[in-house]
Amino acid sequence: MQAYPPALIHHFFSGRTWIEGAALDQLAEMSRLPGVSEIAAFPDLHPGKYGATGVALASERLLPLLVGNDIGCGMSLFQLDLPPHKLKIDKAAERLRQLEAEEIGNPALLLEEAGLPTSLAPDALGTIGGGNHFCELQAIDALAEGGVATGLDGHALYLLVHSGSRSLGAAFFSEAVDAHPDLAAGLLPGSQGAVTWLANHDRCVAWASLNRRLIAARAAAALRADLRLVADVPHNLVRSSGRAFVHYKGAAAVTPGELAPIAGSRASLSYVVCPTADVSRSLGGISHGAGRKYDRASMHGRAGRNRSEREQLLRNAWGGIAICDDRALVIEEAAAAYKDAGQVVADLENEKLVSVLASFRPLVTFKKAVDEAEVEQRRRKPKYRREGGRGRERY
């Protein structure tokens, strides 16, 4: 690939924030990609598969590899008409365990209402997925005057949903990789490849937003509550800005004055912030979460070494509960795997990119539940063994 002069890199983080050297190396490599003119790096910066995650990057070309396969991934915050003082956490966890079994209506009709093709992964709608995705029941821990002015209510419960385009984004990403062997060089604006990828991208962004809304609707139904949308902010996408395309790779795409959630871990506070006019300096981007401190592989051995430790990982200091029946995921998503979200937010505030409106404590975090009906069916299913030439016999 032709060498290009490095683009300008802006660091919106302080020396108090953990930044891995590998992420800085990837950042330098990204600055030399074709057509890249400017990069904003945020305090949740960490290494990624196709470049550092936690950046906004401006380029004359489209760079689908930077957006990755979870196109449109984002976070949505919803307010419930439930007061925290009436919440019984154990009961709420029991109900939320059945979250993905709640009816969501006719998927084809929901897609049509959203202006999307009815064949666009209807069976995946309303599902969270794996990795760092979740649906979390929260309560406000601290509320600033600015938060009150925006309508945040300290006497209500909230849902924070983090999910994306599921198998849909992965399929479109694979198509782009197969169709363009030199995808790392990007796609020229107006080319057939760029037009096709952008159309698929836009569908994924809309589908992912609908998906988060349906996840929240399922959770609200399980909790016997009504809900209203507070914020819906994507962080894996591209937006056109004049002659450039701004790529948000694990960075929240925001505008001044709108509310934006910044997630902590399941055992630390999350935040809602209001971006200021100064986000123009950061290409309209901010952190979307704490960012990983340790990768998934290295977490095995750092946490959850025995059953007792793993059970402790499913509880937090506020009496909150995590629903995750995947032992590996419990370890990989432990709070210790993530940076200090409070420090991330402090860096953004010190850079005058945001003002903090509220902090939220996690009460019930749904990640992955075993289908108990399937488990029971497998348990009851007869098992067989083969003995000589007599065929299969039950035992």
Active site residues: 288
Q: How far is Cα of residue 256 from the mean position of the Cα atoms in its chain? A: 21
3-state secondary structure 355-378: EEEEEEEEEEEEEECCCHHHHHHH
Write the DSSP assignment of 270-328 as a string of letters. Answer: EEEEEE-GGGGGGTTEEE-B--BSS-HHHHBTTB--SHHHHHHHTB-TTS-EEEE--HH
What would the two tokens of residue 96 be?
């939320």
Angle between helices 192-222 and 89-96 (to 10 degrees): 130
What would the two tokens of residue 85 be?
């003082």
Phi, psi of 318 (to 5 degrees): -95, 10
Pairing of strands 36-46, 134-143: unpaired
Q: Helix, strand, or coil here: 3? A: coil
